[in-house]
Structure 1
Amino acid sequence: MQTVRIMLALVALGFAGSAAAQAAPATATFRDWLAVCGNDGACVAFGKPREFGPAWVRVEMDAGPEAWPRIQFGYPDWSDGEQTPRFSLAIDGADLRTTTNIDGLPALTGEAAREALARMTRGSSLTFNSGQDPTEVSLSGASAALLWIDERQGRLDTPSALIRRGARSNEAVPAAPALPRLRAGAAASQAGLEGRSLPPALAGAADVGECLADEDLGDASPTVHRLGPDLLLWTIPCFRGAYNFGSVLWTTRDDGSDPRPLLLTNARGETVTEIINGGYDPQTRQIDAFAKGRGIGDCGLAQRWLWTGQHFELLEETGMDDCFGVRADYWPVLWRAELLD
């Protein structure tokens, strides 16, 4: 099985983007809990099963003094990839009842979420039961993960803290940081590109030649899109795995001259020339990529970059380092920018 660490190395992307100049996201592991904070100051903590099983808990806390925690409970049915429709919850044998629904998952918000967190940090396991064999989510590390979030968000010893609440005023909690603001470049006509072959200057580049020589690619062929009056973007298939398909990105002038590898920046400011399971959409002026850590797609990286008319800038990145059944819809946000009209 391909590991997420390998995928992180493959998909660290950038093209003179702004991500490196902004606050970097942070990730930490505390026994059976994973905590992640993004560039927007929002943080998420995940609890995972004691053993290989389909259940998890997600605690989210936005940045700023007015934030309240939200807790979601995921119980996927791995036979069809959907969520188990009905299940009960218990902390160390005592019932835990949800009060609402968020994004299709049973959830707790407001004071009910705070009360549940207090119980979770004192407990040892959270049991999911749908009438079949119960699945236990370990609560070992929950306290440390929530304390780490409180420290990151500057809310220790305030009434809004997740775990170490106190009398220090919520006014001391920093506001959410401003997001990068991006606007898409003007749409470029794609007329005249159909059937265009890879230009000799690009096909002759060493890295491109190695990609084209890969016999595992089958009938996959390069695609080309126009970014501007004299700038083309080439997406060249480069490798095929069990559930990941990689491509390299290059630019040339309209006549095929001046080939250059395209570098895309990820949330950590790292750069490579490959994207995984993705491509360019000229209507949105966005490149997307979705690198799977394993075949069911419950871990890895999902990313989007926006063509601004000058560069590709990172628009959004979500990711999950660990593989325990969390669908991409619920991955924590590592990076996001505000998309202007």
Structure 2
Amino acid sequence: MHRLVQNLGFALLAAMIAMPTSASAETFGEDRRYFKDWLAACRPTTGYCSATAYINPNPPSGIVADYVLRVGRNSGTDAWEISLSTVATMATDDSFVTIGEEPDFLFFQRTEDFVAFGAINDFFFLGNNARHLLHKMLADQTLNIELDTDQGRKELQFSLSGLTASLLWIDEQQDAVGSPRLAGYAPRDQQRAFALPNPPATVPQAIKDMHFGGDQCEFGPDHEFSDEWENMQLDQTRSLFMLPCSAGAYNYLFRFYVWDQAQQIASAQHFVDYNDSTGWTSTDMLVNPSLDRHSITISSFNKFRGLGDCGSSGTWQWAGYGLQLREYYYQPICGLDYDENADLSYPQIFPEAD
């Protein structure tokens, strides 16, 4: 079970139902506060806070609840984690989740953006749709979730009364009042409950042919940097390869390819890019990229000059069909004198402020 669910016994759940709105408590080393149908809790020792709602808390079967919906955040981070613990039933291996109604419904697929971390029944919502889900939860009165389980298609309804107040209280506890409502990254302190296969140990020939076949890259197959490739597994059959392409004084450019092991197909990847001259465009290379194999994301940092006081940076996350832009920062003006303590953070231009 999830971090806070493990500590919720019968007495706590009974107290949660009986406790008046906005009553507070300190127990199990946590600071807790009840806001209507949501329980907010913070652990001072770790800085982790969450808000939790339940379907059928403390049922006669003796389990904690039939279903548990949680919105949590680690102190010092921007992104919230949204998870659903399925206690009464288990999501099927190929299950999909729909939230809301057409044409505005949100869709999540098991193993891609509805993924178990920590425990096999603790599923996290990932990707850009998770950010939309958080905004929807803050705007609506109820949340209706449909998912495939071992007992058939289930329809779940959670009350959202008290969620906004819970998150505002967490903002105060974490000294993060006014922070953005971002969501959709993998929980940073938990591993996948179902591990992905290891990526291939060598670059497939089909990718080499694509990468070295044209004149788009400075580095040939015999260049000393051509062995500086990296890869990571995306899902059960697909992996991502990052191959060096060219270099400047302080920028290194890489191209990316997805290898489908089942179909033996390679495909070059393109990324959303921005500059003031053309606006939003597409590029087939990233500058100074890095891979995060835990969250299955790629980050880039394009310096417009060596000091790094101007440039762009972005983060892309695997979304099952391609790499989705999650965040983009852009600073076109190189205006700082050299100062090793200068603030080199760039203005965020995606997603735009709500």
TM-score norm. by structure 1 comes to 0.41
Q: Does 1 or 2 have the higher relative contact order (CA < 8 Å, sep 6+)?
A: 1
Whose strand fraction is larger, Structure 1's or Structure 2's?
2
TM-score norm. by structure 2 comes to 0.40
